[in-house]
Structure 1
Amino acid sequence: RLCLTKFLAYGWSARRSASALRAQVEAALAAGLEIGWQQLLDRQRAYLDDFWAQADIELDGSPELQQAVRFALFHVLQAGARGEARAIPAKGLTGPGYDGHAFWDTETYVLPVLTYTMPMAAGDALRWRHSTLGQARQRARELGQAGAMFPWRSINGEEASGYWPTATAAVHVNADIADATARYLAATGDEQFETECGVELLVETARLWVSLGHEDSAGDFRIDGVTGPDEYSALADNNIYTNLMAARNLREAAESCTRRPDLAERLGVEPAELTRWRHCADSMYLPYNDELGVHEQSEGFTRYAPWDFAATPPENYPLLLHYPYFDLYRQQVVKQADLVLAMYLCPNAFSRDQKIRNFEYYDPLTVRDSSLSACTQAVLAAEIGHLALAYDYFREAAFTDLHDLHHDVAAGVHIASVAGTWISCVGGFGGMRDHDGDLGFAPRLPEQLNRLCFRILWHGSRISVHITAESTTYRLESGDSVTLTHHGRRITLTDSPVDLPNPTATAGAAAE
């Protein structure tokens, strides 16, 4: 018998010369030969063991769901672990769908998972965004705006979509990038990233909103003619998701410049600009229908004609393949969570009663023709007490690819949806919220699950959260002490675990 071991290396770059790439490959081969195959295997095993030690989610009640959760986590790891200042594409590394392009859902769905399980990878993805800041500034200038205007769909920093109602008009991508930046800084305290990239990303994204919006005669700050996350609505006035996320962007930019005046001076931020940002954020217009007692996804949305769901046969979904956008844009039908996503990412902007009424109004209108929707609906359903419904949405997110629910898995897995599986568990049943520099949990389990356990990293400390129907146990597994809240009760984790009862979940007004 003759056994051959082949060592292979590859290199690629859009900037470096062939000789530089050849030198890189030769160095990699030399290192591999020096280390040997077994040590390469051992290093890979140690790397994965460390990832699972801090990222694994354990649940009792459904072996199939347990497998689906780990399938999801592995694909998020594979897509993001070695990004190395490159985009995380919508299909990860699994297929040709979307031609390798990245969208806003990288920052909104994938980066939260990486921020709390593999923060270095999240930082790399944000560094890629920062590396495209020059193109974003140029795009803003071409469109007559200030600051930076990031593309809706891109692979190299330039807009790759020619359909402007959902591309150019989907300016919320700026706020999504700012949100991911602020979340990463709050969770890691990465001062080097803040200095090199963070503050500049927050400042340049904030500058867009001041030039894009305007104040009306009532003193409200309006952002008109934009497209929010819901792609069945376009060119709407005051999309509430866009407005709320823009307000957060403005406040985070102002706070970062106040915290780092040296960087603010370098970026040319004057005190008057900080005042303007805060004023625009505080006066941001949020459309509301007093008669129905619900917020409007965008101004006037609740006065559109209702979509005739009874006359829509099952084979006509997804709607975009069977009906013209001209019809979809003018009726009350939602492709994917929009206002519901705003309630998750900006929870302090809504009272509990408002969340209940809003969810129960918009949930029946949301057809989930996008894989981005189910996990967000799971989170809000869990928060307002519709736990059986939350469990159903969780299953949908978890099995989108494994059961090929959208009949397109041949093009690759839906990275945002598999990341949404983690969000459903941690943000939904774990009730994790991470706003204004505070970390909190409000655990609640559906009856189909007996136990849920996950871990997150917070400023380098590893926290485990062990949830049963009756109680939740928090442990500090490594690192410095951490202060957090459990259903609003503030606790500090040190050497000893803390076990607290879970209040009984109460559902909203509508039946599940």
Structure 2
Amino acid sequence: ALVDDNVFTNLMARSNLSTAVDAVQRYPEQAAALGVSAEEATSWRLAADQTHIPYNDELGVHEQHAGFTRHEKWDFADTGSDQYPLLLHYPYFDLYRKQVVKQADLVLAMYKCGDLFSAEQKRRNFAYYEALTVRDSSLSACCQAIMAAEVGHMDLAYAYLGEAALMDLDDLENNTRDGLHIASLAGSWLALVAGFGGMRQKGATLTFAPRLPGRLNRLAFRVQTRGRCLRVEIDSSAVTYTLTAGEPLTIVHDGTRLTVSTTPSRPMPLSAHSPESAPEQPHGRRPAQRP
């Protein structure tokens, strides 16, 4: 069995193995040329099926790694702002035996492997890890923006979008002089498209569940997919889909299949959500609220 302590690594290995098996089945001649047999591909599938995903039944959350939720929680209240990033001030021996998270990890897994989690599990997991994630990495805010939007915390998602997009413009980490945070810049696109656009890829099909925070009244983007160029335009009440090039394309909007052509689709309602009180972040680590 393929077993790993890190949930994101774990789930991505499971997803990648399954994708590799599908590729062997779809392209048998190329697989044979590479010396990949059907028996070997079957063993990959067995490994993927036996991947371990830790879960705490008492708390109702998945674990960052096996046994993580049984660790003592980090003392955030007595950690000063000048002691971040934590890894520069505390030994790994101390960090790894406490409940503290450098960057969104399990949260990222819920985005990349979303079908493996229920909506309730996503909500509970997000709230639990939000209170433990200190964002000592510029890779974190964009992932938290995506999942905050999915579980309905739109203002929080907007705050994280601002952090990802302005990482260098506002020199938030005081190190832009050393070079741009390219992954964070790319992550701001993901926060917009996967977060507020709700875009996911399910096999060969693109799905959307768009919703906007109150501070945004319009979002438009284009996506190249399967030889077509799809334009998505969202305003405060509806979304339209249009192909700028290519044959008609079937997508899924908020659970409804929709065939899109070069004629704009009828306006489709935004994805509904029930706003809840946003979860708290570690003391002193709340993202800045932006206009």
Q: Compute the TM-score of the two structures, normalised by the length of structure 2.
A: 0.93
TM-superposed deviation, 1:340: 0.3
Q: What aligned pairs does 1:76-87 form with structure 2 within 5 A after superposition? A: none
Kindly indicate which of the two structures has a greater share of residues assigned to strand: 2
**SS of aligned partner of 2:192:** helix
1:136 corresponds to: none
TM-superposed deviation, 1:469: 1.9
Tell me which amino acid in the other structure corresponds to 1:412: G
Tell me which amino acid in the other structure corresponds to 1:503: S
Structure 2 residue 278 is the aligned partner of structure 1 residue 507: no
Kindly indicate which of the two structures has a greater share of residues assigned to helix: 1
Structure 2 residue 173 is the aligned partner of structure 1 residue 406: yes
1:153 corresponds to: none
**SS of aligned partner of 1:371:** coil
**SS of aligned partner of 2:205:** coil
Looking at structure 1, the residues matched to 178 and 202 of structure 2 have their Cα atoms a distance apart, in angstroms, of 35
TM-superposed deviation, 1:315: 1.3
1:228 corresponds to: none
2:78 corresponds to: 311
Structure 2 residue 192 is the aligned partner of structure 1 residue 421: no
1:276 corresponds to: 43
2:202 corresponds to: 435
1:222 corresponds to: 3
Looking at structure 2, the residues matched to 509 and 483 of structure 1 have their Cα atoms a distance apart, in angstroms, of 36
**SS of aligned partner of 1:379:** helix
1:285 corresponds to: 52
**SS of aligned partner of 1:465:** strand
1:348 corresponds to: 115
2:287 corresponds to: none
Looking at structure 2, the residues matched to 510 and 385 of structure 1 have their Cα atoms a distance apart, in angstroms, of 9
Tell me which amino acid in the other structure corresponds to 1:309: F
1:396 pairs with one of 153, 163, 172: 163
Tell me which amino acid in the other structure corresponds to 1:355: K
Looking at structure 2, the residues matched to 259 and 240 of structure 1 have their Cα atoms a distance apart, in angstroms, of 29
TM-superposed deviation, 1:435: 2.9
Q: Which has the larger radius of gyration?
A: 1
Looking at structure 2, the residues matched to 305 and 418 of structure 1 have their Cα atoms a distance apart, in angstroms, of 34
Looking at structure 1, the residues matched to 143 and 181 of structure 2 have their Cα atoms a distance apart, in angstroms, of 15
Looking at structure 1, the residues matched to 207 and 276 of structure 2 have their Cα atoms a distance apart, in angstroms, of 22
2:154 pairs with one of 366, 377, 387: 387
The CA RMSD over aligned residues, in Å, is 1.3
TM-superposed deviation, 1:501: 0.9
CA contact (8 A) 1:356 1:509 kept: no
Looking at structure 1, the residues matched to 240 and 183 of structure 2 have their Cα atoms a distance apart, in angstroms, of 29
User: Against the structure 1 CA distance between its residues 503 and 423, is the aligned structure 2 distance closer, same or farther, given a 3 Å change threshold?
Assistant: closer
Tell me which amino acid in the other structure corresponds to 1:366: T
Looking at structure 1, the residues matched to 88 and 211 of structure 2 have their Cα atoms a distance apart, in angstroms, of 38
CA contact (8 A) 2:131 2:279 kept: no
**SS of aligned partner of 1:466:** strand
Tell me which amino acid in the other structure corresponds to 2:274: T
CA contact (8 A) 2:156 2:278 kept: no
Looking at structure 2, the residues matched to 508 and 345 of structure 1 have their Cα atoms a distance apart, in angstroms, of 24
Q: Which runs of 5+ in 2 are unaligned?
A: 281-291
**SS of aligned partner of 2:230:** strand
User: Against the structure 1 CA distance between its residues 366 and 347, is the aligned structure 2 distance closer, same or farther, given a 3 Å change threshold?
Assistant: same
**SS of aligned partner of 2:185:** helix
2:260 corresponds to: 493
1:481 corresponds to: 248
- Give aligned pairs, total: 279
Looking at structure 1, the residues matched to 14 and 241 of structure 2 have their Cα atoms a distance apart, in angstroms, of 33
Tell me which amino acid in the other structure corresponds to 2:224: L
1:117 corresponds to: none
**SS of aligned partner of 2:200:** coil
1:204 corresponds to: none
TM-superposed deviation, 1:510: 5.2
Deviations 1:153-204 (A, max 9, x none): xxxxxxxxxxxxxxxxxxxxxxxxxxxxxxxxxxxxxxxxxxxxxxxxxxxx
Looking at structure 2, the residues matched to 391 and 461 of structure 1 have their Cα atoms a distance apart, in angstroms, of 30
Runs of 4 or more, structure 1, over 2 Å off, are 507-512
Q: What aligned pairs does 1:37-436 form with structure 2 within 5 A after superposition? A: 215=1, 221-223=2-4, 238-436=5-203
**SS of aligned partner of 1:365:** coil
Looking at structure 1, the residues matched to 277 and 44 of structure 2 have their Cα atoms a distance apart, in angstroms, of 38
TM-superposed deviation, 1:503: 3.4
User: Against the structure 1 CA distance between its residues 508 and 353, is the aligned structure 2 distance closer, same or farther, given a 3 Å change threshold?
Assistant: farther
Tell me which amino acid in the other structure corresponds to 2:161: F
Q: Percent identity, aligned pairs only?
A: 54
TM-superposed deviation, 1:440: 0.7
CA contact (8 A) 1:383 1:428 kept: yes
1:178 corresponds to: none
